Amino acid sequence: MKKIIFISFLILLTLCGCSYKSNETVTLNVYNWGEYISDGSEESLNVNDEFERYCKEELDMDVVVNYTTYASNEDMYNKIKSGSASYDIIIPSDYMIEKMILEDMLLKLDFSNIPNYEFVNSAYKDLFYDPYNEYSVPYTSGMVGIIYNEKMVDEEDTGKWDLLWNEKYKGQILQFNNPRDAFGTAIYSAGGDVNATDVKVWEDASQKLKVQKPLVQSYVMDEIFNKMKNGSAAIAPYYAGDYLTMYDSNDSLRFYYPEEGTNIFVDAMCIPECAKNKELAEIYINFMLSDEIAIANAEYIAYSSPLDNVRNNEIYIEDMTEWNENAMDILYPESVDFKTTYYKNLDPETLKLQNSLWETLKIDNSVEPWIYITSLGIILLLLVIFGWNFIIKKIRDNY
C-alpha cells in the first residue's frame, strides 16, 4: 500500500546562505535506525534522493547523503562516543538525547534554518529530555506493545505482559536485544518503575528475564521483521509502528498495549558535536518536516508523527486506514487506560547495574551446564593422555 507521494510544487524553505563552494560535492552523513525512513523501496518515495535533488536544483549544491543505520540507542551512542566515525545527523530516543546533552555530545540548533519547526505539535515541545527545545526536532513517536500471530496464539492468553512468559509458547517468543527495552518488559510486568534507582527493582527484573530465557527463541532488533512476517516466531514485544509494517506482509499478526503499562517514546533529529556540516544538517532537518516529505516518511515507516501537517492530512488518514483499519487508533489513541512512561536517562550507577545484569543474562546458561562439564572432562582427559604419552616417550628415548 506504501505508494509514491509525488512532489507537485517546490518545497519552500527559509535558508541562510550556505558556506560551500558551488563546485564541490558535500557528503551529509546521516545515522538512523534501521527500517526508519522512506527509502524508495516498495514504491515509496526516496526522501534522501529528493533532498539531493533539492540541493542541486534550489541551492546549486552537489550533495550526497551517506545514510547508515544502527540497531539500538546504545550502539549509536558507543559509536559516536568512541570517535570512530563522524555524523551530521543522528536520530536518538528521548532518554539518550538527555544523556548526550548532559555529556556535551550534541550541538544547539539554529532554528532560523528550520522554519518548518512550526509544524511540530505542542505536545512534543518542552519535554524532559530537551526542556528548552535547543538540541532536537521530533522525528517520530510511539509506544511499545506486543505483537502476536493469531493463528499461533490463543486469544485468551493476550492482554498482559505475561504472554512473554507463557510456557505454552516456548521457543516461539522473541525478546528485545537491548537492555533498556528488555528490562522494561520485565519491570512493567511486575508493575514497577522503569526509571527506578532501587537495586532490587533491577535485580528482580533480571531474575524475571532469566526465568524467561529458556522460552526465548532469540533476542532481536531488526531481525524481528522476517521472523514475524514469515511465522517463524509467534510473539514479540516491539514498537507499534513496526507492527503495521509487519502486518503489511502478514495479516495474521495482531497487536495490543499491555494493560499494566508501557513505554512511550520520542525519537528526534539531532546534530552531534562531531558534525562537519551543521548548516546543511539543519537544512536537511527542515526538509524532513515539509509536507510531502513528512507524509511520505510517515506512511512508509508507519510510526506516529509529531507533525500537525501530517496528523491532520486527510490523504494520510485515508491511506493509513486503508492499510489497517485500526492504524490510527494504534498510532494516535485518543485516550489510554494504562500507564505510559518515558524512559529517563539513568544515573551512572543504575546504568552500570543494568548493563552488568544484561551481560550476565546474555552469557549465563547460553550453553547447558552439562555441556560445560562434559567439555571440561574431555579436555582434561586429552591432557592426561597427551602427558602420559609424552612421559612414556621420554622414558623410551632415555633407554
Q: What is the pLDDT of residues 313-340, one digit of tens each?
A: 999 999 999 999 999 999 999 878 889 9
* Rounded alpha-carbon distances, angstroms, from residue 104 to 43, 56, 97, 109, 272: 40, 33, 10, 13, 9
Edge-first strand listing for the sheet containing 62-70: 62-70, 25-33, 89-90
Query: Is there a single domain that holds both residue 188 and residue 299?
Result: no
The helix/strand/coil state of 169 is helix
Query: Is there a single domain that holds both residue 122 and residue 38?
Result: yes
Query: Is there a single domain that holds both residue 233 and residue 97?
Result: no
Does the pLDDT of residue 306 top 90, yes or no?
A: yes
Q: What's the confidence (pLDDT) of residue 320?
A: 97
Is 185:258 a contact under the CB 8 Å cutoff? no
Query: Is there a single domain that holds both residue 197 and residue 234?
Result: yes
pLDDT mean over 12-31: 68
- What is the C-alpha separation between 139 and 151, in angstroms, rounded? 34
Parent domain of 56: 25-139+268-324
Is 172:234 a contact under the CB 8 Å cutoff? yes
Total domains in the chain come to 2
Q: Is residue 17 part of a domain?
A: no
Residues in the chain: 399
Q: Is residue 334 part of a domain?
A: no
Q: Which residue has the cell 538527555?
A: 98
pLDDT mean over 127-141: 98
Distance, CA of 81 to chain centre: 18
Is 149:217 a contact under the CB 8 Å cutoff? no
Kindly state the percentage of the chain with pLDDT values over 90: 82
Q: Quick one: how many helices (H) and strands (E) in the chain?
A: 14, 10
pLDDT digits (tens, 9 = 90+) for 378-397: 777 777 676 666 666 656 55
At 194, give phi and psi (nearest 5°).
Answer: -70, -10
Q: What's the confidence (pLDDT) of residue 14?
A: 35
Cell numbers linked to 36:
526508519
pLDDT digits (tens, 9 = 90+) for 355-366: 999 999 999 754
- What is the C-alpha separation between 310 and 317, in angstroms, rounded? 9
Between 297 and 9, residue with greater pLDDT: 297
Query: Is there a single domain that holds both residue 134 and residue 238?
Result: no
Q: What is the pTM (predicted TM-score) of this model?
A: 0.81
Among the ranges given (13-27, 130-144, 297-311, 358-372), the one the predictor scored with the smallest mean pLDDT: 13-27
In the chain the beta strands, taken as DSSP E runs, fall at 25-33, 62-70, 89-90, 137-149, 173-176, 216-220, 235-239, 253-256, 262-269, 340-341
Query: Is there a single domain that holds both residue 89 and residue 105?
Result: yes
Between 245 and 364, residue with greater pLDDT: 245
Among the ranges given (15-19, 295-299, 327-331), the one the predictor scored with the smallest mean pLDDT: 15-19
Query: Is there a single domain that holds both residue 29 and residue 124?
Result: yes
Query: Is there a single domain that holds both residue 130 and residue 146?
Result: no
The helix/strand/coil state of 329 is helix
Q: What's the confidence (pLDDT) of residue 231?
A: 97
Does the pLDDT of residue 264 top 70, yes or no?
A: yes
pLDDT mean over 85-103: 97
Q: Is residue 355 part of a domain?
A: yes
Say which DSSP state 72 is in: S
Query: Is there a single domain that holds both residue 39 and residue 104?
Result: yes
Q: Is residue 329 part of a domain?
A: no
Query: Is there a single domain that holds both residue 237 and residue 355?
Result: yes
Query: Is there a single domain that holds both residue 227 and residue 356?
Result: yes
pLDDT mean over 211-235: 97
Does the pLDDT of residue 220 top 90, yes or no?
A: yes
Q: Is residue 350 part of a domain?
A: yes
Report the amino acid identity of residue 7.
I
The chain-wide mean pLDDT, for the chain, equals 90
Q: Is residue 179 part of a domain?
A: yes
Q: What's the confidence (pLDDT) of residue 337?
A: 80
Query: Is there a single domain that holds both residue 192 and residue 239?
Result: yes
Q: Is residue 6 part of a domain?
A: no
Residues 6+ apart with CB under 8 A from 318: none
Q: Is residue 317 part of a domain?
A: yes
Q: Residue 251: which CATH number?
A: 3.40.190.10
At 151, give phi and psi (nearest 5°).
Answer: -80, -15
